[in-house]
A and B are shown apart, each in its own frame.
Chain A
Amino acid sequence: MESHLEKRLEEQGYTDINPLPEQTQPPEQRSRFSPINQRRLQNFKANKRGFWSFWIFMVLFVVTLFAEFIANDKPILVSYKGEILAPVFVDYPEEKFGGFLAITDYRDPFIQEEIERDGWMLWPPIRYSYRTVNNEIPVPAPAPPSWTMDKQERCSRYTEGVNDPNCTLGNWNWLGTDDQGRDVVARVIYGFRISVLFGLALTIASSIIGIAAGAVQGYYGGWVDLGFQRFIEIWTAVPTLYLILIVSSVLAPGFWILFSILLAFSWVALVGVVRAEFLRGRNFEYISAARALGVSNSVIMWRHLLPNAMVATLTFMPFILNGSISTLTALDFLGFGLPPGSASLGELLAQGKNNLQAPWLGISGFVVLSVMLSLLIFTGEAIRDAFDPRKSFE
């Protein structure tokens, strides 16, 4: 009864019981956002947890986008014989520094000595990339975090022991190494990046397809709608996981193959909501008015109906993103995901499961995944609440 009444009050326009005074703002000072979007933004900011989650996530995301500058087995800048080189961007052949490999191994003490003699090197804070094998770990891989060992032990495998110039903070394995001697921190940073990028790409692509499909169904209705709906029902009944298993036994599953298979099934997520919004919206009077003006169907769908459907879509998006990331992780965990050697959180979890004696593997993977997914869920919740019409009209 109460909520019904509230709704009725809203419908009757009691929300603008005090309509805005005649000239609230001069036109030129008006914000880009319509007032309702401003209120949504305020609602979003008012949700402290979601707001902070959003910013923390954005910072982590932007930082990991520049992962090559944080964790890499190449220096960021090298000055050699008066020449400034940027190994991060360019693969220099080793003969430039007097070696013979096609690509310079900057971790090789010989190359380091050669460069140091005629210039300097600027290393990233972590001197491992996601696929760099640390050959100097003092114990068999997986090696525990460096801070669990004393200096003596840490430097035992370097040629000059404690005095070796390479036994520095930059060569620490802060979270230990995995069972192939690769640095966990580096793998986590790159894994975070690829997870989020994969998730974002999948979310955006499936949203575009889903919105387009839902829009067409909802707007035209009738046989188009009926046919499409039955097709989707059959399509969603296809077991995605088996399909991926089958395909990965034929093709080597790379980023784009995985992406395409998952996309083929994930676009249906948004069709339902968008279709419902368009079905509802196409009978609005302003749609009739636009039709009476002679506006074409595609323009009506784009300009008049899509903004209505965007609220539902934006509300769903963070959760679809979360789902995409979890799917990728799950596939990696099972070994059907990204090709072997890729930085992947799922693979890290799988290693954790196989090496229970090395808890830093499982714990690191778990913490990173759960923090990432929680941040996204909190952000998603805040967005959902911000778009809640009951809140934005209050």
Chain B
Amino acid sequence: MTNENKRLLDVKDLSIAFKQGEQENLAVDKISFHIDRGETLALVGESGSGKSISALSVLKLLPYPAASHPSGTIEFDGKELISATDGDMRKVRGNRISMIFQEPMTSLNPVHTVEKQISEILKVHRGLGETSARARVLELLTQVGIPEPETRLQSYPHQLSGGQRQRVMIAMALANEPDLLIADEPTTALDVTVQAQILKLLKELQQRTGMAMLFITHDLGIVRKISDRVCVMNKGKIVEHGPVEDIFERPTHAYTQHLLAAEPKGEPPLSDESKPIVVKTDDLKVWFPIKRGFLRRTVGHVKAVDGIDIAVREGQTLGIVGESGSGKTTLGLAILRMIASQGAITYDGQPINDFSWKQMRPLRRHMQIVFQDPFGALSPRMSVSDIVGEGLKVHYPQMSEADRDRKVAQSLEEVGLDASTRFRYPHEFSGGQRQRISIARAMVLEPKFVMLDEPTSALDMSVQAQVVDLLRDLQKAHGLAYLFISHDLKVVRALANDVIVMKQGKVVEAGHADAIFDNPQTDYTKALMAAAFKMEAVENGIVSM
């Protein structure tokens, strides 16, 4: 094989600009990379670094003409793609180059069956008939590891789990045996255990079909696991590239070093049984009734939270881990009395499980929440100062305008934001800054108990570490009790001194964090640990597909 033939994709000096009103913004600035046949290249970078749009531009899927390429060439198998016509591009898309997207929920059309979605590509590009297409679809579904593919043909996307949906997406992408697979954060929306399975599947498929992969991710652990070479992107430029080992062992560029050093670190508070208990539950249950028939009789229950006892002490953190759907968030919301539940909940020794919404109101300032999504948790139509000050208006209605403003500014300073930015709107802030605003909104009321619902999982790696540090500092300064909900075991390890592992609404394992992390007892916990820390799929002990 000659060198010329070996090279599959060659991107040279590619720039991407977006028109915003009158002005043009350069989003990607003269990047060059290449992929050989059968090889995996990872594009790594934080959000906004331009990695996804670089990949999209290979398939010319950007919103032209708002987007444009001021410079550069994209050569695929010797053919130039930038100047290719739409007709030519259609022959390449889904046929020789396929793509998997991040969000398996929205990448599949909800009104078509699995069979229809996969066979469509086969019919378009290969002109297969009904029967031969079905045979190929079955073959593909078996290949991507969907059990009993015959029964799944007529399923709709909502009937599949997240992992299964992503498998269907992969089956669609592989349908025409592409030479290049572009995977845009294919596992970000999935649980760690499912992520490990999908990565394993992709690796196997690559070995079997010999396709090349362009893997876009922000997760360095995945890069190390799956790719041969790495390009590190920052602010629209490739700052460093090379083989995986070189980059991880000897990073030369400051940004790469910064990324590698960004793992959440630090020690959680020491467990101290003598500290007073702030929040305690006893056999807490949240059952959602399943109603059937004309009279809507209750025929059963979805046991989202099924008999959980927890105790959170002052200045301590209780971590709750588990896969999505295990009832972690429901438990947290029940404790804060945001949803109905059965079983005792006490705050500061006072039983609150029978409190009405009105009775809860004065307690709300002691019990606060920080949500996962830094974009969704802030009203886009209110300025930061209004957002942070809203709780003060409710709980201290007699507070003067100036006092409130001072308090808001103080709180913003405390979470590491410039207080002079408080008149701006949320969309002007980055994800990490928004999460700091969310934290400030909770902290301004000086709560005693804070429920942190995956506060770091929507953030970039380096920002995660900062937010974890911030949360720990705040805890130390104010003696806060945290209920920390996360599926990210690395973050939990850095914050929680006690951990409970949840599965289908029940506690699987509970105890001191060290004991659970170092010496997990149940298969389920072991599988979680392997997936989270080694990105390995363990065959037994996994619940979801």
Please tell me if A20 contacts chain B, counting CB pairs below 8 Å.
yes
A11-45 contacts to B (CB < 8 Å):
12-14, 16-20, 24, 27, 30, 34-36, 42
List residues of chain B with CB within 8 A of the CB of A34.
Answer: 381, 425
Q: Give the docked Cα–Cα distance between A293 and B424 (Å).
A: 21
Query: Which A residue's beta carbon lies closest to that of B378?
Result: A286
Q: Give the docked Cα–Cα distance between A35 and B390 (Å).
A: 21
What is the size category of the interface that chain B forms with chain A? Answer: 35 or more
Indicate if the CB atoms of A293 and B394 lie closer than 8 Å.
Answer: yes
Partner of B377, one of A14, A17, A18, A289: A289
Please tell me if B52 contacts chain A, counting CB pairs below 8 Å.
yes
Find the residue from B103, B371, B424 having the highest chain A CB count within 10 A: B424
Please tell me if B469 contacts chain A, counting CB pairs below 8 Å.
no
Please tell me if B129 contacts chain A, counting CB pairs below 8 Å.
no
Please tell me if B423 contacts chain A, counting CB pairs below 8 Å.
yes
List residues of chain B with CB within 8 A of the CB of A284.
Answer: 376
Please tell me if A294 contacts chain B, counting CB pairs below 8 Å.
yes
Say how far B341's CB is from chain A's closest CB, in angstroms.
16
Q: Give the docked Cα–Cα distance between A295 and B379 (Å).
A: 14
Say how far B412's CB is from chain A's closest CB, in angstroms.
13
Indicate if the CB atoms of A17 and B391 lie closer than 8 Å.
Answer: no
List residues of chain B with CB within 8 A of the CB of A19.
Answer: 48, 428, 430
Q: Give the docked Cα–Cα distance between A324 and B376 (Å).
A: 38
Query: Which A residue's beta carbon lies closest to that of B25?
Result: A18
B418-454 contacts to A (CB < 8 Å):
420, 423-425, 427-428, 430, 438, 441, 445
List residues of chain A with CB within 8 A of the CB of B459.
Answer: none
Indicate if the CB atoms of A17 and B381 lie closer than 8 Å.
Answer: no
Binary interface profile of A, 199-241, with partner B (CB < 8 Å = 1, else 0)? 0000000000000000000000000000000000000000000
Query: Which B residue's beta carbon lies closest to that of A12?
Result: B52
Indicate if the CB atoms of A290 and B52 lie closer than 8 Å.
Answer: no
Say how far B195's CB is from chain A's closest CB, in angstroms.
19
Binary interface profile of B, 349-379, with partner A (CB < 8 Å = 1, else 0)? 0000000000011101101110111011111
Contact status of A289 and B338, CB under 8 A, knowing A17-B53, A35-B427: no
Indicate if the CB atoms of A5 and B427 lie closer than 8 Å.
Answer: no
Indicate if the CB atoms of B106 and A8 lie closer than 8 Å.
Answer: yes
Query: Which B residue's beta carbon lies closest to that of A4?
Result: B106
Q: Give the docked Cα–Cα distance between A161 and B29 (Å).
A: 86
Indicate if the CB atoms of B430 and A293 lie closer than 8 Å.
Answer: no
Indicate if the CB atoms of B336 and A292 lie closer than 8 Å.
Answer: yes
Indicate if the CB atoms of B395 and A5 lie closer than 8 Å.
Answer: no
Indicate if the CB atoms of B391 and A286 lie closer than 8 Å.
Answer: no
Q: Give the docked Cα–Cα distance between A345 and B445 (Å).
A: 61
Say how far B429's CB is from chain A's closest CB, in angstroms.
8
Q: Give the docked Cα–Cα distance between A290 and B425 (Å).
A: 17
B16-63 contacts to A (CB < 8 Å):
18, 20-21, 25-27, 47-48, 50, 52-53, 56, 61-63
Indicate if the CB atoms of A6 and B379 lie closer than 8 Å.
Answer: no
Indicate if the CB atoms of B338 and A5 lie closer than 8 Å.
Answer: no
Say how far A291's CB is from chain B's closest CB, in angstroms.
7
Q: Give the docked Cα–Cα distance between A248 and B443 (Å).
A: 63
List residues of chain B with CB within 8 A of the CB of A290.
Answer: 379, 390
Indicate if the CB atoms of A30 and B423 lie closer than 8 Å.
Answer: yes
Please tell me if A394 contacts chain B, counting CB pairs below 8 Å.
yes
Indicate if the CB atoms of A288 and B371 lie closer than 8 Å.
Answer: yes
Please tell me if A107 contacts chain B, counting CB pairs below 8 Å.
no
Say how far B436's CB is from chain A's closest CB, in angstroms.
14
Binary interface profile of B, 55-84, with partner A (CB < 8 Å = 1, else 0)? 010000111001000000000000000000
Indicate if the CB atoms of B391 and A293 lie closer than 8 Å.
Answer: yes
Indicate if the CB atoms of B377 and A294 lie closer than 8 Å.
Answer: no
Indicate if the CB atoms of A289 and B430 lie closer than 8 Å.
Answer: no
Indicate if the CB atoms of A286 and B376 lie closer than 8 Å.
Answer: yes
Partner of A289, one of B25, B61, B427, B438: B438
Indicate if the CB atoms of A13 and B369 lie closer than 8 Å.
Answer: no
Say how far A88's CB is from chain B's closest CB, in angstroms.
45
Say how far B204's CB is from chain A's closest CB, in angstroms.
28
Q: Give the docked Cα–Cα distance between A290 and B441 (Å).
A: 10
List residues of chain B with CB within 8 A of the CB of A140.
Answer: none
Please tell me if B215 contacts chain A, counting CB pairs below 8 Å.
no
Indicate if the CB atoms of A292 and B364 lie closer than 8 Å.
Answer: yes
Please tell me if B101 contacts chain A, counting CB pairs below 8 Å.
yes
Please tell me if A304 contacts chain B, counting CB pairs below 8 Å.
yes
Query: Which A residue's beta carbon lies closest to that of B438?
Result: A289
Query: Which A residue's beta carbon lies closest to that of B63?
Result: A6
Say how far B112's CB is from chain A's closest CB, in angstroms.
13
Please tell me if A108 contacts chain B, counting CB pairs below 8 Å.
no
List residues of chain A with CB within 8 A of the CB of B420.
Answer: 27
Indicate if the CB atoms of A13 and B47 lie closer than 8 Å.
Answer: yes
A41-97 contacts to B (CB < 8 Å):
42
List residues of chain A with CB within 8 A of the CB of B61.
Answer: 2, 5
List residues of chain B with CB within 8 A of the CB of A119.
Answer: none
List residues of chain A with CB within 8 A of the CB of B380.
Answer: 36
List residues of chain B with CB within 8 A of the CB of A20.
Answer: 428
Please tell me if A307 contacts chain B, counting CB pairs below 8 Å.
yes
List residues of chain B with CB within 8 A of the CB of A296.
Answer: 394
Q: Give the docked Cα–Cα distance between A87 and B394 (Å).
A: 56
Q: Give the docked Cα–Cα distance between A220 and B427 (Å).
A: 29
Indicate if the CB atoms of A13 and B48 lie closer than 8 Å.
Answer: yes
Query: Which A residue's beta carbon lies closest to that of B371?
Result: A285
Say how far A28's CB is from chain B's closest CB, in angstroms.
9
Contact status of A294 and B365, CB under 8 A, knowing A17-B53, A288-B338: yes
Q: Give the docked Cα–Cα distance between A290 and B368 (Å).
A: 10
Query: Which B residue's beta carbon lies closest to that of A35?
Result: B425
Say how far A369's CB is from chain B's closest CB, in angstroms.
38
List residues of chain A with CB within 8 A of the CB of B364.
Answer: 292-294
List residues of chain A with CB within 8 A of the CB of B106.
Answer: 8
Q: What 3 pairs between A and B have smallest CB-CB spacing?
A: A294-B364, A293-B391, A285-B376
List 5 A-B pairs, Cβ < 8 Å: A14-B52, A288-B371, A294-B394, A294-B395, A295-B391
What residues make up the interface of B, taking CB atoms closer than 8 Å to A? 18, 20-21, 25-27, 47-48, 50, 52-53, 56, 61-63, 66, 101-103, 106, 336, 338, 360-362, 364-365, 367-369, 371-373, 375-382, 390-391, 394-395, 420, 423-425, 427-428, 430, 438, 441, 445
A-B contacts besides A285-B373, A294-B362, 16 pairs, CB < 8 Å: A8-B103, A14-B27, A14-B53, A16-B427, A18-B20, A19-B428, A19-B430, A24-B428, A30-B423, A288-B369, A289-B377, A293-B390, A293-B391, A293-B395, A293-B445, A294-B364
